[in-house]
Amino acid sequence: EGKPGGMDPTEAALAFALGLYRFERYRRRDAAPPRLVTPGADEAQVASLARACALAKDLINTPANDLGPAELEGAARELAGRFGAQIEVITGDELLTKGYPAVHAVGRAAAPGREPRMIEITWGEAGRPGVALVGKGVVFDTGGLDLKPSAGMRLMKKDMGGAAHVLALGAMVMEARLPVRLSVLVPAVENAVSGDAMRPGDVLATRKGLSVEVGNTDAEGRLILADALTRASELSPDLTLDLATLTGAARVALGPQLPPFFTDDEDLAAAIEAGARKASDPVWRLPLWKGYLASLETEIADLKNDPDAWAQAGAMTAALFLQKFAPAGAWAHFDIFAWNPRAQPGYPVGGEAQAILGLFAMLKARYA
């Protein structure tokens, strides 16, 4: 049909636009990027999606000295302002009085000015189907007192990749004016080391009321997501999606290019896979295998954050932990890498947007 390589003109233009991305905050290139004019392409949609993906990549690529919790809040405020959305931010010790104790526990060790916070963006008319997007916003992960080795810490500026992804996906939804009531929920923390850091063996309260024994302070992402998912459930959404750079086990299972997702909703799983195929944005479903639930049990609390070693499947046990806090109804969890470790044409080394183009295609099919 005259499509280049069988591709839709809009898809071809988007692929080219995504391939032009460069992170230039600290190192400017003089050459102006080329611009592709593709007859028949929806240039407005291409610009919107490319701009959103560039936002995610820019946030991921920015090091933690220039992107702390406050700067992540600033990016969320800028996004809310651009689309006329509401934003509420709960910061520091106010997290305790407002019911986000796990977010506070993970982030309280950070330096002054880098306090933990809960960011909530709301957009769209009340009464429309609710869509909650929850993103892990750990701006840097030392591992806490269970300190990561140097090699494991090197890329931890990207541990807010989930937050960057839900901000970008939220931008796509708002710019397309999808008829939904959108909530973007980002717990933003630095998992730092100080005299006030949470300790192995501590028992944390959560917003849901479940107690969690901290077996390992480096399994902190699921702790902040627990409070954020509980908040999402209070909104009674039609659909909840959470994205997080959660486990190394997901990379052992599927590598850096193929993010796993988890859901027990068969219709949602099929819709996610259809959106992924349509957008050429690959994902792979892994099971929420209930046989591993026992690995989260502990004698002194409702559950623990470091599953027993016998279960082995770290990405699955993390997802099972999150499921205990997820809203009833349609929910899916994405364990993304958010990084290209190897340069390829169109994919420079550095921050990468994964799954959200496919998720946007799914959301359009579901609600538009």
What are the structural domain ranges in the chain? 66-367
Question: Quick one: pLDDT at residue 30?
Answer: 72
CB 281 within 8 A of CB 358: yes
* Residue of 22, 77, 98, 148 marked active site: 148
CB 250 within 8 A of CB 140: no
CB 295 within 8 A of CB 311: yes
Which residues share a beta bridge with 347?
344
Token pair belonging to 33: 């990027």
Please report which residue ranges of 84-135 form alpha helices under DSSP H.
94-97, 101-107
Q: Based on the residue annotation, tell me whether 181 is a catalytic residue of this protein.
A: no
Question: Quick one: pLDDT at residue 28?
Answer: 80
Alpha-carbon torsion (31, 32, 37, 42), positive or negative: positive
Q: At 328, is the secondary structure helix, strand, or coil? A: coil
Question: Quick one: pLDDT at residue 42?
Answer: 92
Question: Quick one: pLDDT at residue 1?
Answer: 42
Question: Quick one: pLDDT at residue 37?
Answer: 77
Token pair belonging to 335: 């364990």
Q: How many CB atoms lie within 10 A of CB 26?
A: 9
State the DSSP string of 186-241.
Answer: EEEEEE--STTS--TT-EE--TTS--EE-S-TT--HHHHHHHHHHHHHHT--SEEE
Block means of pLDDT (10 residues each) for the chain, length 368 residues?
A: 68 92 88 76 95 98 98 98 98 98 99 98 98 99 98 98 99 98 99 98 98 98 99 98 98 98 98 97 98 98 98 98 97 98 94 98 97
Q: At 181, is the secondary structure helix, strand, or coil? A: strand
Q: Which among 182, 169, 174 has a CA at the least distance from the CA of 336?
A: 169
Give the C-alpha distances (Å, rounded to integers) separating 96 from 75, 103, 116, 277, 338: 24, 9, 11, 43, 31
Question: Quick one: pLDDT at residue 5?
Answer: 64
What lies within 8 Å, CB to CB, of 201 at 6+ separation is 213, 214, 215
Output 171-174 pairs: Cβ under 8 A, ≥24 positions apart.
Answer: 171/48, 171/51, 171/52, 171/55, 171/79, 171/82, 171/83, 172/48, 172/49, 172/52, 172/356, 172/360, 173/123, 173/131, 173/360, 173/363, 174/83, 174/85, 174/123
Q: Which among 191, 264, 182, 249 has a CA at the least distance from the CA of 224?
A: 191
> In which order are the strands placed within the sheet that holds 303-304?
203-204, 212-213, 303-304
Q: Which among 219, 204, 238, 242 has a CA at the least distance from the CA of 323?
A: 242
Length of the chain: 368
Q: Based on the residue annotation, tell me whether 128 is a catalytic residue of this protein.
A: no
* Residue of 222, 251, 304, 366 marked active site: 222
CA–CA separation, 94 and 97 (whole Å):
5
CA–CA separation, 88 and 119 (whole Å):
6
Q: Evaluate if pTM is beyond 0.75.
A: yes
Does the domain at 66-367 match CATH 3.40.1310.30? Answer given as: no
Q: How far is CA 317 from the centre of its chain?
A: 18
